[in-house]
């Protein structure tokens, strides 16, 4: 297989117009939007002085308190770089820290096995990525149950078919029937087989990360994946201030292959951070910067993604909450810091706490996606399927989120003026008391002028009732079922497909059926 193109063309990356764009806006399967290039201003919630205050306090945390790196090789590397090391505690001088952080490129291309689906990450670019890690699904019959490999296959198919999703993620739901030591092989195989969009890696052990790279090497070529980004992986700092051996092992595998990592503290604000939005951001920023700096010890200049996962906890129960105003405010602060450091950055989009695809889910999702877009996030994760604080992936939620992403894509793309002259001519053509339905301008633009969702219902009450009085959740499940019925697999080359299956068979022979 030929290596994917290194760049998305300027024309393709900046517009989804023409016949393909119009088909995608109607939701036609297998159409795909290019990278979203935001043409609306970012919103900065606080003045530059406040951003600088948080930045300086984060540097002081790393100099004075330090961060745990619980891995012997990592400690040796920090010591060689000149950091103050005491056992596993690393205190990093701010000059050293910022010198390392400055090596990360501000943008990079994430290559897909279909070059037309490659995307840009960083700068004014944004991509939408579905959720990750749910043990449960809410299925097509609206039953909550454990996820299976069949469910994971289905979600990868839906991600492939959704025009505004730019990645297939990987562990959208856990295939719980497959033994944990072997599960990663089937997760990555599903992402590579059922979609030709970029995907995500596995980070739960060094061996699993290496297996992921071996599978990517079969698809893209071993030489190609040593240097060219083809997947993104998530590594979480254990807040407060601990990078553990498992995450560091994954970092070492992926960074050394020049594969981008999301360096994202997993922070439950009020529990693993102080009960303060700005205090939480100062801590999380320190944790993320420490992780990013370490990747540059592993491979200077490797592309990385500054990240955060910050949710507030219910101070009565300790349960994480989604879609809160504080979570949105913290996104704006992280966006301002990312711009200061010129780093690509990740946040969460439709991250909700609701158990169902209901009004609460809609309110929570809108709060966070609006903040993600206006804060300038580049990698907007958990953008489809997320329910119940990530414990569940819902088929209905996945389908309705994908439809809403088309609207957000248009929103962030800004207001086009390319047909303004023709629109003004149409007013003169129609004059007072006429209508525009038959004008040439309307005939040329009716398909793409406005967001036209198919799941949302705008019919009269009588028409809605005659069609079964279906609620939004029901219509979402129907949409998902219909999409799956229309799915056509983007076939791998026969030799590549056989190579993947052979690797899985060989690795499964060596791996145990349970974790010891």
Rounded distance between C-alpha atoms, residue 67 and residue 82, angstroms: 15
Q: Which whole number is the average pLDDT over 72-77?
A: 98
* Alpha helices, DSSP H, located in 36-122: 48-60, 72-81, 94-101
Judge whether residue 28 has pLDDT over 80. no
Q: For residues 165 and 157, give the distance between their C-alpha atoms in angstroms, rounded to a whole number.
A: 11
Stretch 347-369: mean pLDDT, rounded?
94
The predicted structure's pLDDT at residue 324: 87
pLDDT band with cut points at 50, 70 and 90 for residue 376: very high
Mean pLDDT of 393-406: 98
**Contact by Cβ (8 Å): 489, 194:** yes
pTM: 0.92
57 CB burial (10 A radius; 0-12, 13-18, 19+)? middle
Residues 281-294 as b or e (16 or more Cβ within 10 Å = b)? bbbbbbbbbbbbbb
Which pLDDT belongs to residue 23?
A: 39
Q: In this predicted model, what pLDDT tens digit does every residue of 434-460 receive, in sequence order? A: 999 999 999 988 888 899 999 999 999
Chain centroid offset of residue 82 CA: 34
User: Taking 60 as the threshold, does the pLDDT of residue 15 lie above it?
Assistant: no
Determine the pLDDT at residue 27: 40
pLDDT of residue 76: 98
Question: Using an 8 Å Cβ cutoff, are 269 and 312 in contact?
Answer: yes
Output 441 or 19, whichever has higher pLDDT: 441
Q: What's residue 106's pLDDT?
A: 98
> Is 35 a residue whose pLDDT tops 80?
yes
Percent of the chain topping pLDDT 70: 94
What pLDDT score does 432 carry?
94
Q: What are phi and psi of 348, to 5 degrees?
A: -105, 145
pLDDT of residue 3: 40
pLDDT at 267: 80
Tell me how far apart the alpha carbons of residues 4 and 109 are, in angstroms, rounded to a whole number: 10
Q: What is the mean pLDDT of the chain?
A: 92
pLDDT bucket at 25, cuts 50 / 70 / 90: very low
User: Does 187 score more than 80 pLDDT?
Assistant: yes
- Residue 302's φ and ψ, nearest 5 degrees, are -70, 140
Dist. CA 204–CA 265, nearest whole Å: 16
Is residue 351 within 8 Å of residue 390, measured between CB atoms? yes
Lowest mean pLDDT among 61-75, 260-274, 339-353: 260-274
Residue predicted with more confidence, 5 or 106: 106
Class for domain 68-413, per CATH? alpha beta
In this structure, what DSSP letter does residue 65 have? Answer: I
Q: What is the pLDDT of residue 22?
A: 36
* Average pLDDT of span 115-143: 98
Residue 24 above 80 pLDDT?
no
pLDDT band at 155 (very low <50, low <70, confident <90, very high): very high
Contact between residue 126 and residue 377 where contact means Cβ atoms under 8 Å apart: yes
Residue 257: pLDDT band with limits 50, 70, 90: very high
* Banded model confidence at residue 359, pLDDT cuts 50, 70, 90: very high
* For residue 237, pLDDT beyond 60: yes
- Average pLDDT of the segment spanning 170-195: 98
82 prior amide bond cis, ω within 30: no
pLDDT at 29: 40
pLDDT of res. 30: 61
Burial class from Cβ neighbours inside 10 Å (0-12, 13-18, 19+) for residue 397 reads: buried
The helix (H) or strand (E) run that includes residue 314 is: none
Q: How many other C-beta atoms are found inside a 10 Å radius of the C-beta of residue 259?
A: 27
pLDDT band, very low/low/confident/very high, at 310 (cuts 50, 70, 90) = confident
pLDDT at residue 5 tops 70: no
d(CA 305, CA 233): 10
Of 19-28, 328-337, 431-440, the one with minimum mean pLDDT is 19-28
The pLDDT assigned to 142 comes to 97
Q: In which order are the strands placed within the sheet that holds 89-91?
A: 84-86, 89-91, 67-69, 242-243
The answer to whether 229 and 108 have CB atoms below 8 angstroms apart is yes
Of 107-121, 145-159, 313-327, the one with minimum mean pLDDT is 313-327
Place of tokens 């400055």: 102
């Amino acid at each position: 297989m030929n290596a994917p193109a290194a760049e998305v063309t300027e024309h393709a990356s900046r517009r989804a117009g023409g016949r393909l764009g119009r088909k995608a806006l109607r939701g036609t399967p297998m159409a795909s939007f290019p990278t979203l290039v935001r043409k609306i201003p970012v919103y900065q919630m606080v003045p530059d002085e406040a951003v600088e205050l948080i930045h300086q306090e984060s540097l002081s945390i790393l100099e004075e308190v330090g961060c745990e790196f619980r891995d012997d090789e990592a400690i040796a590397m920090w010591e060689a770089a000149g950091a103050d090391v005491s056992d596993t505690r690393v205190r990093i001088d701010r000059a050293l820290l910022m010198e390392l952080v400055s090596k990360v490129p501000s943008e990079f291309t994430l290559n897909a096995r279909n070059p037309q689906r490659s995307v840009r990450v960083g700068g004014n670019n944004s991509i939408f990525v579905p959720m990750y890690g749910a043990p449960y699904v809410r299925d097509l019959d609206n039953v909550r149950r454990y996820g299976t490999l069949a469910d994971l296959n289905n979600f990868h198919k839906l991600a492939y078919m959704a025009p505004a999703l730019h990645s297939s993620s990987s562990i959208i739901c856990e295939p719980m029937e497959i033994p944990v030591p072997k599960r990663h092989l089937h997760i990555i195989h599903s992402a590579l087989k059922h979609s030709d969009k970029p995907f995500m890696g596995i980070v739960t052990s060094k061996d699993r990360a290496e297996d992921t790279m071996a599978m990517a090497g079969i698809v893209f070529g071993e030489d190609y994946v040593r240097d060219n980004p083809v997947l993104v992986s998530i590594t979480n700092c254990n807040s407060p201030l601990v990078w553990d051996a498992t995450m560091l092992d994954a970092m070492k595998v992926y960074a050394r292959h020049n594969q981008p990592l999301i360096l994202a503290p997993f922070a439950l604000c009020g529990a693993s951070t102080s009960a303060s939005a700005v205090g939480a951001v100062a801590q999380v920023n320190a944790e993320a910067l420490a992780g990013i700096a370490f990747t540059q010890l592993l491979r200077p200049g490797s592309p990385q993604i500054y990240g955060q996962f910050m949710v507030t906890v219910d101070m009565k129960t300790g349960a994480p909450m989604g879609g809160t105003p504080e979570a949105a405010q913290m996104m704006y602060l992280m966006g301002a810091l990312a711009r200061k450091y010129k780093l690509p950055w990740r946040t969460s989009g439709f991250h909700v706490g609701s158990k169902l695809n209901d009004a609460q889910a809609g309110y929570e999702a809108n709060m966070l996606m609006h903040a993600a877009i206006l804060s300038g996030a580049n990698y907007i994760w958990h953008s489809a399927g997320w329910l119940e604080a990530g414990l569940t992936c819902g088929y209905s939620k996945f389908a309705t989120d994908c439809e809403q992403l088309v609207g957000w894509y248009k929103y962030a793309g800004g207001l086009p003026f390319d047909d303004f002259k023709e629109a003004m001519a149409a007013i003169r053509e129609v004059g007072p008391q006429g209508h525009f339905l038959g004008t040439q301008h309307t005939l040329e633009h009716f398909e793409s002028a406005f967001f036209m969702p198919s799941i949302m219902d705008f019919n009269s009450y009588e028409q809605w009732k005659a069609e079964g009085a279906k609620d939004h959740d029901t219509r979402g499940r129907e949409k998902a079922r219909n999409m799956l019925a229309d799915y056509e697999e983007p076939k791998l080359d026969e030799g590549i497909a056989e190579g993947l299956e052979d690797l899985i068979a060989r690795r499964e022979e060596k791996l145990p059926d349970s974790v010891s």
